[in-house]
Copies of this chain bind each other. A is one copy, B any other.
């Protein structure tokens, strides 16, 4: 069994050792044993880290990510919850698409003030149209 030192994982994944320890603490990854004091990570951890990176980039908190992928590293939840997460992400994709298109439009639109440009307004309107829950703004307390 070829296990990995924290430094190797760091090098291979681009994640700093301190962050890796933090992730282990938070239950997102797990080392299988110790070699002396040193954590030994199974190679799968690299895949898990990729998933974690994806989740972060999706705007999920580490806690949400931890909930999304079980201790074993692979997604491990009731199917309908997974689907709900997927839909959440889908909504976000739509928002991002609108933002991307808005920026692209602005980069090409010759109008003096974008606020007046109907295309601009339509694009922006198009954004928020999706129910708008996620973990944002006005839902707390």
Contact B99 A54 (CB under 8 A): yes
Q: Which of A85-133 contact B (CB under 8 A)?
A: 85-86, 89-90, 92-93, 95-100, 102-104, 106-108, 113-115, 120-121, 124, 127-128, 132
**A98→B114 CA distance, assembly (Å):** 33
Contact B44 A95 (CB under 8 A): no
A59 contact from B57, B83, B104, B115, Cβ within 8 A: B57
Contact B82 A128 (CB under 8 A): no
Contact B96 A89 (CB under 8 A): yes
Contacts of A107 in B (CB 8 A): 79-80, 82-83, 86
Copies in the complex: 2
Contacts of A120 in B (CB 8 A): 74
Q: Which chain B residue lies CB-closest to A78?
A: B107
Which A positions have Cβ atoms within 8 angstroms of B? 14-16, 19, 44, 47, 50-51, 53-59, 68, 72-75, 79-80, 82-83, 85-86, 89-90, 92-93, 95-100, 102-104, 106-108, 113-115, 120-121, 124, 127-128, 132, 134, 136-138
Known: A72-B115, A89-B99. 17 other contacts (CB 8 A): A14-B138, A15-B138, A16-B137, A44-B115, A47-B124, A50-B127, A55-B99, A57-B59, A57-B134, A68-B103, A74-B106, A74-B113, A75-B102, A75-B106, A79-B107, A82-B104, A90-B100
